Chains A and B, each alone.
Chain A
Amino acid sequence: MSRQSPADTTRTARPALGSKRKGRLVVGGVGLVLGLWYTWYTWANVPMGTQDRPGAGVFPLAVGIAMIAVSILALAEAWLTDAVSGEVTFPKGEKRRVLLLMGVALIAFVGLYQFLGQYIASSLFLIAGLSLLGNRSMVRNIVYGTAIGVVLSAFFMELLSVRLPEGLLGPTGLIGGLFL
């Protein structure tokens, strides 16, 4: 790696934008839009009260202005300086496929959590996770996924009495209702 002299540094006015700086520009931009909308919304919809009796909107207004300020700071820092530099690496190929599919499985798990209930939803998610992340046979994935899902759910729901969605297995559920 070659060392730059101070003269070289002044000649190269602005270092090239790496993907990390580009990403921070996006984050700063999103923050700025959020800050502007939040400040406008507070000003238009939340009561400000009087100076001696400040209303519910005073503090959020200050927070909104602060959000705008830190977003501009993030944008300026990413655009003008190399305080944070380098490349952001995202997975490629098979790793990206696995990550995206795990994301989809997580969203499906959360989306169906209340309908299916803790026992069924967690077992199905575990089967999906085991299939995506491991290289066992499908039969083993189903056996392990169901076993881990049932044990985890029973530990929290039966042993620790944590109230979790019962879904299909609950008294009003499609399966649980059959046994009542």
Chain B
Amino acid sequence: MNPWEGLLYGLELVFTPQLLLAAFIGAAAGTAIGVLPGLGPVAGAALILPLTFTLQPAAGLIMIAGVYAGSMYGGSTTSVLMNMPGEAASVVTAIDGYEMTRKGRAGPALSIMAVGSFIAGTIAIILVTLMSPLLSNVALLFGPAEYLALTGGGLLILARVSGGSPASGFFPMVLGVLLGTVGVEQVTGFFRFTFGIQDLALGFSLVPVAIGLYGIAEILLLIEDPDRAAKVKSVKLRELLPSGEEWRRAWAPWGRGSLVGFFFGLLPGPSATLSSFASYRLEKAVSKHRDEMGTGAVEGVAGPEAANNSAAVGSLVPLLSLGLPFSATFALMLAAMVVQGIQPGPLLIEQRPDIFWSLIASMYVANVMLLILNLPLVGIWVSLLRIPKSMLMPGIIVIAVLGAYSTRFNMLDVYVLVLLGAIGYFLRKLDFALASMIVGLVLGPFIEKHFREGMFLSRGDLSYFLDSGIAIGMWVVAIVVLFGGGIWKLVRRRIVGEEAEKVKLEVED
């Protein structure tokens, strides 16, 4: 099956009532989650996760994809209307988006955002379609050594780029990996760190950890600072249409943002957030209207929004072809696949083409759903913000508790939810990056698996892990990302220091 036949096959599979309904529910729930304070894409996907276990694999995954795309869009809506980004990737959109709202152009800003997200999604899906089989062929060359380099190196890179300082990313990352070692060990069946507690045998579930760190912690922050929510600006349907000038100015940033976003999506790290910042910088550098950036420029909304949507789709490539989640939301998607008995990786496209192509097609369908759902219904989404917070916050906590319990029908998960909520609250106050903890929890067992497989295969020869060019290349990239910045700073300080010394001598002369 060539890529285009595959995409058509995926679209054919997705256009069934059940999968369309799953995409619709996912997109609607995701938009609500993105609009509401306290729940971002990670907590939203974690809450939906237990429900997906009862659905067909494709429907469950499509629902999570819909939640992801919807919550990104919902987050951007509050950025534009209230200067209150629903999640990190929408921070940049708020700069010019909110300025447009203040100028009375909120409707066009929302339309530019929605149409841009749709165009970016379309471009990214075409690129994913073209690239995935190619990557799968490369991925077939992968053995335990290469996988160890990819998972271990990828995790290190993610921790380095997602946290501000080195400790901000590495500390939660190792904590996540450590939590992943609890439970029955897969090869020998040894009970590790269970202390006789039977419920710990299955280890820590991702759902309570993710909802605790992101959902409960955010609610606690909202309770202590209720002024975080601002007054809502209403938008009427007839005000949504951008002017001819605004359309013309949006085209080029949409194209540039799509390409930048897709490229970032292939890399480890918070790709949606990084790509929106990169796109904004790019627009500031190349746009004809760069002087207006920051004062309500169309380019400042069109570029970053296209970029973060394209990055979200681009991140599917490493997830589906290599089995590597480069973000917390995709870590949840990986967990959903594993529960459904699907192992993402190079063989997925051969063994489960239905899952592979329907997931890619579903991202497209989710984008169309969002366009249909969000623009005409923007008033409804915004009105969600008028729900009193005194009702919203306890309600979200109740949903979080039942979501955690329903994962494995186990009270331990509920206790973990509360404990991780408290830990997340303090770690966020201290500027630690929590995404690396979640990805560490998911990737830790994979790293151990690949390490032990490699040791078995090589009969204990550690040099096996550096036997192939691919593995060496990946470790080199990881080392460059980890230490490159520091070394560059030292070199620059040395050069700048020498030059400063020269200048000082010249001044003295």
Contact = CB atoms under 8 A, between A and B. Distances in A.
Interface in A38-84: 38, 41, 46-47, 50-56, 58-60, 63-64, 66-67, 70-71, 73-74, 77-78, 81, 83-84
Contacts, number: 183
B421 to A, nearest CB: 8
Interface string B439-475: 0000010011001100110011000000000000000
B21 interface: no
A162 B50 CA distance: 9
B390 interface: yes
B418 A106 contact: yes
B406 A52 contact: no
Contacts of B426: 23, 27
A125 B393 CA distance: 11
Contacts of A106: 216, 397, 418
A170 interface: no
A162 to B, nearest CB: 5
A138 interface: no
Interface in B396-430: 397-399, 401-402, 405-406, 409, 411, 414-415, 417-418, 422, 426-427, 429-430
Give the secondary structure class of B's interface.
helix
B177 interface: yes
B376 interface: no
A126 B402 CA distance: 14
A160 B167 contact: no
Contacts of A163: 406, 409
Interface string B198-221: 000000000000000000100010
Contact of B391 (A28, A130, A156): A130
Contacts of B187: 56
B394 interface: yes
Contacts of B411: 113-114
A66 B177 contact: yes
Contact of A59 (B164, B394, B452): B452
B225 A91 contact: yes
Contacts of A161: 54
B181 interface: yes
A31 B220 contact: no
B390 A129 contact: yes
Contact of B430 (A23, A110, A134, A156): A23
B418 A56 contact: no
Contact of A54 (B220, B401, B452): B452
Most buried by A among B167, B187, B190, B426: B167
B239 interface: no
A70 B170 contact: yes
B390 A160 contact: no
Interface in B164-184: 164-168, 170-171, 173-175, 177-178, 181
Nearest to B216: A106
A70 B406 contact: no
B188 interface: yes
B499 interface: no
B390 A20 contact: no
Contacts of A156: 402, 406
Given A77-B165, A145-B394, 11 more contacts: A54-B452, A56-B192, A73-B167, A103-B220, A107-B418, A109-B401, A130-B391, A132-B390, A133-B393, A152-B402, A161-B54
5 contacts: A28-B171, A83-B166, A90-B429, A130-B394, A133-B394
Interface of B: 50-51, 54, 164-168, 170-171, 173-175, 177-178, 181, 185, 187-188, 190, 192-193, 216, 220, 223-226, 388-391, 393-395, 397-399, 401-402, 405-406, 409, 411, 414-415, 417-418, 422, 426-427, 429-432, 444, 447-448, 451-452, 455-456, 459-460
